[in-house]
Amino acid sequence: MEQIKLVIAGHIDHGKSTMIGRIMQDIGALHDDKIELLKAISKRRGMPMEWAFVLDAMRTEREQGITIQTTQVFLKTPTKSYAVIDVPGHKEFLNNMISGAASADAAILVVDAKEGVQDQTRVHSYILRWLGFDSVLVTINKMDLVNYSKERFDELRFQVNKHLKKVGIISTTILPVSARYGDGLVHRSQNMSWFTGPTLMSSLDAFWPKPMPMELPLRLPIQDIYKFDERRIIAGRIESGKLKVGDTLMFAPNNSTAKVRSIEAWGVKLPVLAASAGQCVGITLEDHIFVERGFLASHKTNPPVQTYFFRARIFWLANTPLELGRYYKLKLTTIERIVEVFKIEKVIDIFDLSEHSGNQIERNMIGEVVLHTRAMLYLDEFTFNPHLGRFVLFDGYDMVAGGLVFIDKVQELGLISYKSLQQIPSVEDHVTIENRWRANGHKSGVLWLTGLSGSGKSTLALELENILFRKGWQVCVLDGDNIRSGLSADLGYSPSDRHENIRRVGEIARLFANSGVLVITAFISPYRSDRARARALMPSLFHEIYVNASLDSCKKRDPKGLYKKANNGEIIEFTGISSPYEVPSSPEVEVNTCKQSINQSIEKMLSYIQAKFALENNE
Amino acid sequence: MDHLDFIEAYSIYILREAFNKFDRLVMLWSLGKDSNVMLWLAKKAFFGHIPCPVVFCDTGKKFPDMYSFQKKYTKNWNLNFIRQECPPIEEIDPTLTVSVRSAARKTEALKRLIHELELQAVIVGIRRDEESTRAKERIFSPRGENAEWNFRDQPPEFWDHFMTKLLPGNHIRIHPLLHWTELDIWLYIQRESIPVVPLYFAHNGKRYRSLGDMDITKPVTSNADTIEKIIAELLVTKIAERSGRMMDYETEDAFELLRSAGYM
Burial label for A326, CB within 10 Å (0-12, 13-18, 19+), is: middle
Q: Is the pLDDT of residue B233 over 80?
A: yes
Amino acid at A541: L
Q: Give SS3 for B138.
A: coil
Confidence of residue A438 (pLDDT cuts 50, 70, 90): confident
**Cβ neighbours of A280 in B, within 8 Å:** 9, 12-13, 16, 45
The pLDDT of residue A233: 97
Q: B65 or A432: which carries more pLDDT confidence?
A: B65
| Residue scoring higher pLDDT (A172 or B18) | B18
In chain A the domains, ranked by start, together with CATH numbers, are 3-204 (3.40.50.300), 220-299 (2.40.30.10), 311-412 (2.40.30.10), 433-613 (3.40.50.300)
Q: For residue A592, what is the DSSP state?
A: E
What's the whole-number mean pLDDT along residues A476-497?
A: 88
Closest chain B CA to residue A68: B152
pLDDT over 90 (residue A60): no
**Dihedrals φ, ψ of A597, to 5°?**
-75, 165
Q: For residues B30 and B19, what is the distance between their CA atoms, to the nearest angstrom?
A: 20
Asked if B45 lies within 8 A of A280 by C-beta distance, the reply is yes
B125 near B30, Cβ under 8 Å?
Answer: yes
Nearest CA in chain A to B151: A69
Contact A71 B159 (CB under 8 A): no
Instruction: Tell me which residues of chain B, numbers 202 to 241, contact chain A at a CB-CB cutoff of 8 Å.
Output: 235, 237-240
Contacts of A391 in chain B (CB under 8 A): 159
**Closest residue to A266, CB basis, from B43, B158, B166:** B43
Region of poorest pLDDT, from A18-22, A31-35, A248-252, A272-276: A31-35
Using CB atoms, pick whichever of B6, B129, B166 lies closest to residue A278: B6
Taking an 8 Å cut-off on Cβ atoms, the answer to whether B237 and A83 are in contact is: no
Confidence grade of residue A124 (pLDDT, cut at 50, 70, 90): very high
> What is the tens place of the pLDDT at every residue in B88-126?
999 999 988 888 888 899 999 999 999 999 999 999 999
**Does the pLDDT value for residue A413 go beyond 60?**
no
CB contact under 8 A, B47 and A266: yes
The verdict on whether A171 is a catalytic residue reads: no
Give me the helices (H) in A71-199, please. 94-101, 119-130, 150-167
pLDDT at A268: 85
> Residue A617: CA atoms inside 13 Å, Cβ hemisphere, count?
0
Selecting from A1, A233, A333 the residue whose C-beta is nearest the C-beta of B47 gives A233
Largest CA distance in chain B: 52
**HSE of A158 in the Cβ direction (CA atoms, 13 Å)?**
5
What is the chain B residue with the closest CA to A83?
Answer: B179
Mean pLDDT of chain A: 89
Distance from CA of B20 to the nearest CA of A (A): 7
Q: Are B163 and B214 within 8 A, CB to CB? A: no
What is the residue-wise DSSP string for A274-339?
Answer: EEETT-EEEEEESS-----TT-EEEETTSPPEEEEEEEEEEEE-SSSPEETT-EEEEEETTEEEEE
Do residue B158 and residue A392 have CB atoms under 8 angstroms apart? yes
Tell me if residue A348 falls in helix, strand or coil: strand
pLDDT bucket at B38, cuts 50 / 70 / 90:
very high
Mark yes or no for CB contact A224/B156 under 8 Å: no
For residue A619, is pLDDT > 50?
no
Q: Check residue A409 and give its pLDDT.
A: 61
Restricting to B residues 178-197, those with a Cβ less than 8 Å away from any Cβ of A are 179, 181, 183, 192
What is the spatial distance between Cα B261 and Cα B264, in angstroms, rounded to a whole number? 9
Look at B8 and A79; give whichever has higher pLDDT: B8
How many whole angstroms separate alpha carbon A478 and alpha carbon A481? 8
Please state which of the ranges A113-117, A518-522, A577-581, B138-142 shows the lowest mean pLDDT: A577-581
Residue A437 scores a pLDDT above 90: no
Please name the CATH architecture into which domain B3-180+251-260 falls: 3-Layer(aba) Sandwich (3.40)
- pLDDT of amino acid B194: 97
* Catalytic member of A298, A444, A525, A601: A525
Distance between CA atoms of residues A522 and A524, nearest Å: 7
* pLDDT at residue A118 tops 50: yes
Spell out where chain B has E strands.
25-28, 54-58, 81-85, 121-123, 140-143, 171-174, 206-207, 220-221
Mean pLDDT of A449-454: 93
Nearest Cα of chain B lies from the Cα of A68 at a distance, in angstroms, of 6
User: Residues of B numbered 53-112 whose beta carbons fall under 8 angstroms of chain A's beta carbons: which are they?
Assistant: none
Provide ipTM, 2 decimals. Answer: 0.94
Higher-confidence position of A166 and A439: A166
Please name the helix (run of DSSP H) or strand (run of DSSP E) that holds residue A465, with its range, or none. helix A457-470
Specify the DSSP class assigned to residue A572.
S
| Distance in angstroms (rounded) separating the CA atoms of residues A105 and A135 | 11
Mean pLDDT along residues A267-275: 89
Res A425 pLDDT > 50: no
CB contact (8 A) between residue A267 and residue B237 = no
- The partner residue sitting opposite A102, judged by closest CB among B17, B158, B179, is B158
Domain boundaries, chain B: 3-180+251-260, 198-248
pLDDT at A420: 40
pLDDT of res. A337: 93
Long-range CB pairs of B130-134, under 8 A, 24+ apart, other chains included:
B130/B182, B130/B210, B130/B241, B130/B242, B131/B242, B131/B248, B131/B255, B132/A54, B132/A55, B132/A57, B132/A71, B133/A57, B133/A58, B133/B255, B133/B256, B133/B259, B134/B178, B134/B259
**Is pLDDT above 60 for A418?**
no
Return the residue of B nearest to A231 by Cα.
Answer: B47
Give the Å distances, CA to CA, from A412 to A96, A409, A416, A418, A423: 36, 5, 9, 12, 20
Q: Is A597 exposed, middle or buried (0-12, 13-18, 19+ CB in 10 A)?
A: exposed
Q: What is the mean pLDDT of residues A339-350?
A: 93
* pLDDT confidence of residue A617: 52
> How high is the pLDDT of residue A411?
55
SS3 content of chain B, % helix, strand, coil (to 5): 45, 15, 45
Q: Tell which phi-psi region holds residue A454, choosing left (phi > 0), alpha (psi between -120 and 50) or beta.
A: left
Helix, strand or coil, per DSSP, at residue B95 = coil
Is residue A429 scored above 60 in pLDDT? Answer: no
The residues in B 148-167 lying below 8 A from A, measured between CB atoms, are 151-152, 154-161, 163-166
Reply yes or no on whether the pLDDT at A284 is more than 60.
yes
With pLDDT > 90 as the criterion, what percentage of chain B qualifies? 75
**Contact (CB, 8 A) for B147 and B262:** yes
Residue-wise pLDDT tens digits, B136-179: 999 999 999 888 998 888 899 999 999 987 888 899 999 999 99
Q: How many residues does chain B have?
A: 264
Higher pLDDT, B240 or B161: B161
Distance from the Cα of A337 to chain B's closest Cα (Å) equals 14
Which contiguous run of DSSP H or E holds residue A379? strand A365-379
B174, B124 in Cβ contact below 8 A?
A: yes
Contact list, A94 vs chain B (CB under 8 Å) = none
Q: Are A391 and A377 in contact (CB under 8 A)?
A: no
